[in-house]
Structure 1
Amino acid sequence: MTAPERLRISGPEDILGFIPHSLGYWPESSLVAITMHGNLLGATLRLDLPGPEVLADPCKYVRLVLGYLDADKQADGTLLAFFTSKGGSSPGPKVVDFEYDALLSGLDCVLEEAGLPVREAWYIGDDYWRDAYCTDASCCPPQGRPLQAILDSTLNAEMVYRGSSVGPAPGAKGGPVPPVSSLYRSAVLEAQEGWRKVLDCRRDSRAQFVAVLEAWEVLLCRRSGEPWPPGVERDAFLRASLLIPAWRDALLVMAAAGKHAAEAGADQFGILHAGTGPHPVAPPGEPLAGNRANLDAADACAGDSPGPGYAEVLMGVAPAVPDWERLNALDLVLEQLAALGGPASAASLTLRGWIAWSRGRGSYAAAHLSEALDVEPGYRLAELLLELVGRGAICGWAARKDAAWHKF
């Protein structure tokens, strides 16, 4: 892995232009806080701006912000950006308002005491932005500076040149959806029903479990940017495998911690059997697990180093650093499978929600999980994860700089 190329920031316009690329969308009614490590940007946090009742007594909100930022143990400062736009469509230019001055003052005091002093803060409205601390009308006009200065910043242009884009907010209607023809969707859904019946009678077979993981592993090892060719039987098989909870959960563990951890964890649960039964199956052209003699030999070797358990992986406690490349590849595959609709889409969206949460992107996680529950109300794993996200829990990896996912 090569060292990442550093982006040079020459002014506040560059920082404010970087934020939408970091989040993936232009935030509205949001507080964005960025930790600082000396002169380097650290972690990015986005929270909904509080309403009038909370602003009247913002202590609890301020402590919440500190609790998140304090997870970055190397941080020695903070940048704050108040995106006050509410997405309104009223005519005429909208100047920056100052209804969050009291909140900024509270954050200033608490973060200073915690060793995370606010170095700079800005208000960003629909049409204008301004330095929150500047009162000199000669450099900070009352209405603020035009928003276009952020959009025209050097760093924003650099990010676009490097292929970064700013999309719709999580959960926004009309967002980009992988194109799928109605004929292809119908063919996959029909084939999926056949695979569902075949796999259901093999759900406790260790041989079939290994065959499913191997079929997924081929996709997780695809080169970055490699096109996703159509494959009716393959997509139907993958979607059918997600309908079996034990296999669904093992897929996440395998992507993050490796196939051995997924197999060892399943063995610990005692849900798989290596006895006689239907032979394992896989789509035509896809890998098939080895014969029973090889599987039995593998069983004898397994268990010397079981690795992290499922709960440790799903909470981001272990491994020390997950395989982000494989998780990124899994996310792309799940995006394609979710676009086909039907019950398996709830599983795909739920796994995408967990991946987003493990990346520290709570807004995307909540959007994916909510969509999963729209597809299949009562989907238990989506409910549990959404409750976790709603409580503000941070994935263990996202809370550690050495383990956290980096978009750039």
Structure 2
Amino acid sequence: MKPPEHLTVRSPEDILGFIPHSLGYWPADSLVAMTMHGKRLGATLRLDLPGPATLADPRAYARTVRDYLAADIDADGALLAIFTNDGWSEQPGTYQGLIDALEARLGASGMTVRDAWYVGDTYWRDAHCTDLACCPARGKSVQAIRDSMLNAEMVYRGSSVGPSPENGTRPVAAVSDEERAAVLASEAAWAAQLDRRRGSREQFGILLDLWESVLTNDAGHLLPANDVAFLRASLSVPAWRDAVLVMAAAGTPAALAGAEAFGIFEPGSALAPVGPVRPGHGTAGEADGTSRAEAAVAGRCPGSGDAARIETSAGRDVPGYGEVLLGLEPYIPAWDRLNSLDAVMAQLSAYGGLPGAAALTGRGWIAWCRGRGSYAAAYLGQALEDVPGYRLAELMLELVRRGTICGWAARKEAAWRRFEPDAA
């Protein structure tokens, strides 16, 4: 997401103050690398700092960093920040060899490292400055970063720095025992009705229509308990869960075309569709195997790879499920709907159970699409804590752990953005 105007970076404190806003949290024991396009900041990458064995020969680690940053094909420079309390006040310092290797590898790839810093909990300093008059060994106060003009402007614009993904991704919802019991009871009633309509094309259309309405109108508000119950019940059906993800990113035609192509509809369904009564909607409530998303992530889906696209009945070419789930199509996803879906999934995950795991997995996928691997791993890990063996979460987590980058995150013009600063 772009702000209405560019932000201006005036000092190292501004750059270092920008990093926690870019990541969403203050990193620890991390290398943060940022690409540059001339004087403009580009992509932000965070990796765990390597252990002693890798620090003894950091060339492979440096190649990994280079490979990630190479996705920003227009980058001509880089900035490095090592967030740690260990060993950086020493001379030459625990991480000097790592910085040297990164500078050599990135420089050889056309991304000259223009500055590098060490940042601890209390102090920070330039990684190369040895003049004790301006760069004391213990560094300058981190408070100068927190008080920087850019940090103040980001806070003014509504940006916040939260806890790390490991500590702060599980929703803390003020849900009373009575409300929880009511939602779960309503969910069970909806699930019983929806289970008999899994093959209904009309029910599928009503369900996507409701989801689209929620993403358009209600994502920023607390949903009524009956809507929460129905949406959670719909996520328990893997084919419908997959369709919701595809619809949010690529639109209803892609979700419908994929469902038709994969044969989830049964002809002659006699049951009328059900769903909560909402303004503008007349519907009232009265074996899945491997899902399409799971097959796509595992590399077995007809919508991914060589069998790429689906032809709709109207003759319009739309992306297949595999392409959407891997971030290959559409060229630029509907980030507004994906942002709304993330907010809705946060509400739905608060009640736990199988639908909660589905909602956490959806949030993990959205985080991966945004290029936020730490958050993706945290959401997916929580889904597996709640429902061990939840297949889509397992497959997505494997992608994240391999360092696979979502297709959208790898392209500057398609990538999700909270803001886009300029450097003066």
TM normalised by structure 2 equals 0.88
Q: Is the 8 A contact 1:369 1:385 kept in 2?
A: yes
- CA offset at residue 2 of structure 1? 8.3
Is 2:346 the counterpart of 1:335?
yes
Q: Is the 8 A contact 1:260 1:306 kept in 2?
A: no
Tell me which amino acid in the other structure corresponds to 1:99: T
Quote the RMSD (CA, aligned, Å): 2.0
- CA offset at residue 271 of structure 1? 1.3
**2:38 aligned residue:** 38
The residue matched to 1:121 in structure 2 has which SS?
Answer: strand
- CA offset at residue 179 of structure 1? 2.4
Aligned to 2:176, which of 181, 195, 198? 181
The residue matched to 1:277 in structure 2 has which SS?
Answer: coil
Q: Is the 8 A contact 2:349 2:355 kept in 1?
A: yes
- CA offset at residue 306 of structure 1? 4.1
Tell me which amino acid in the other structure corresponds to 1:347: A
Is 2:77 the counterpart of 1:51?
no
Question: What whole-Å deviation, never above 9, does each CA across 1:285-317 have from its counterpart, x for those lacking one?
Answer: 363579xxxxxxxxx983411400000000000
The residue matched to 2:110 in structure 1 has which SS?
Answer: coil
Tell me which amino acid in the other structure corresponds to 2:140: R
Range with greater deviation from structure 2 (102-111 or 269-278): 269-278
Q: Is the 8 A contact 1:233 1:284 kept in 2?
A: no
Deviation above 4 Å: which 4+ runs of structure 1?
173-176
Q: How has the CA–CA distance of structure 1 residues 301 and 120 changed in structure 2, closer, same or farther, with 3 Å as cutoff?
A: closer
**Superposition pairs of residues 305-316 of structure 1, within 5 angstroms:** 305-316=316-327
Question: What whole-Å deviation, never above 9, does each CA across 1:8-35 have from its counterpart, x for those lacking one?
Answer: 1110000000100110000000000000
Is 2:251 the counterpart of 1:240?
no
Tell me which amino acid in the other structure corresponds to 1:150: I
Is 2:5 the counterpart of 1:5?
yes
The residue matched to 2:41 in structure 1 has which SS?
Answer: strand
Is 2:357 the counterpart of 1:346?
yes
Q: Distance in 2 between matches of 1:161 and 1:58?
A: 40
- CA offset at residue 259 of structure 1? 0.2
Q: Distance in 2 between matches of 1:153 and 1:361?
A: 25
**Superposition pairs of residues 244-283 of structure 1, within 5 angstroms:** 244-283=237-276
Tell me which amino acid in the other structure corresponds to 1:122: W
Range with greater deviation from structure 2 (94-103 or 5-14): 94-103
- CA offset at residue 171 of structure 1? 2.0
**1:195 aligned residue:** 190
**Superposition pairs of residues 207-226 of structure 1, within 5 angstroms:** 207-222=202-217, 226=220
Q: Distance in 2 between matches of 1:144 and 1:61?
A: 27
- CA offset at residue 126 of structure 1? 1.9
**1:21 aligned residue:** 21
Q: Is the 8 A contact 2:171 2:350 kept in 1?
A: no
**2:334 aligned residue:** 323
Q: Distance in 2 between matches of 1:362 and 1:387?
A: 11
Q: Distance in 2 between matches of 1:375 and 1:110?
A: 42
Q: How has the CA–CA distance of structure 1 residues 255 and 182 changed in structure 2, closer, same or farther, with 3 Å as cutoff?
A: same
Q: Distance in 1 between matches of 2:44 and 2:364?
A: 19
Is 2:221 the counterpart of 1:227?
yes
Aligned to 1:302, which of 313, 333, 338? 313
**Superposition pairs of residues 144-183 of structure 1, within 5 angstroms:** 144-172=139-167, 177-183=172-178
Q: Is the 8 A contact 2:197 2:271 kept in 1?
A: yes
Question: What whole-Å deviation, never above 9, does each CA across 1:179-225 have from its counterpart, x for those lacking one?
Answer: 2222211110011111111101111111111111011000111277x
The residue matched to 2:79 in structure 1 has which SS?
Answer: strand
TM normalised by structure 1 equals 0.92
Question: What whole-Å deviation, never above 9, does each CA across 1:369-398 have from its counterpart, x for those lacking one?
Answer: 000000000000000000000000000000
RCO greater where, 1 or 2, for CA within 8 Å and sep 6 or more? 2
Q: Is the 8 A contact 2:170 2:382 kept in 1?
A: no
Q: Distance in 2 between matches of 1:377 and 1:306?
A: 38
The residue matched to 1:45 in structure 2 has which SS?
Answer: strand
Aligned to 1:386, which of 375, 392, 397? 397
Q: Is the 8 A contact 2:30 2:48 kept in 1?
A: yes
The residue matched to 2:175 in structure 1 has which SS?
Answer: coil
Q: Distance in 2 between matches of 1:181 and 1:282?
A: 25
Range with greater deviation from structure 2 (370-379 or 178-187): 178-187
**1:89 aligned residue:** none
**Structure 2 unaligned spans of 5+:** 285-310, 420-424
Question: What whole-Å deviation, never above 9, does each CA across 1:291-344 have from its counterpart, x for those lacking one?
Answer: xxxxxxxxx983411400000000000000000000000000000110122221
The residue matched to 1:172 in structure 2 has which SS?
Answer: helix
**1:142 aligned residue:** 137
